[in-house]
Amino acid sequence: MNYYLWPALFILISVVVGLVRILRGPTAADRMMAAQLFGTGGVAILLILAQAMQMPSLVDVALIYALLAAITMVVFVRCQWRSHENTGEMEDESH
């Protein structure tokens, strides 16, 4: 059953490659996107581990991940929205 760990390993490596974008990413939004890549990759790894380690309760962990992935992003965009406010963009904000 452990041979399922190989795909989990490769997806983990692809997620780690996203780490470079966090370190290098010029803008804050790039960094936030890479963090979301960690989230989606994490869900995939969890699903494979659920089969590899024969623990069906891991699917609940993946379910929580999937649900809450959007929250950090929403807080980031809503929270950093304020600094956009200061630069007095002409367009109307709420559309």
What is the closest distance, in whole angstroms, from the C-beta atom of residue 92 to other proteins in the complex? 10
Q: Which of residues 54-83 bind other proteins (CB under 8 A)?
A: 54-83
> CA nearest 28: which of 69, 85, 67, 84?
84
Q: 34, 25 in Cβ contact below 8 A?
A: yes
What is the closest distance, in whole angstroms, from the C-beta atom of residue 58 to other proteins in the complex? 6
Q: Which of residues 8-47 bind other proteins (CB under 8 A)?
A: 8-23, 26-47
The number of angstroms, rounded, from the C-alpha of 43 to the middle of its chain's C-alpha atoms is 9
How many residues at the interface with other proteins, by CB under 8 A? 90
Place of tokens 């993946």: 62
What is the closest distance, in whole angstroms, from the C-beta atom of residue 90 to other proteins in the complex? 10
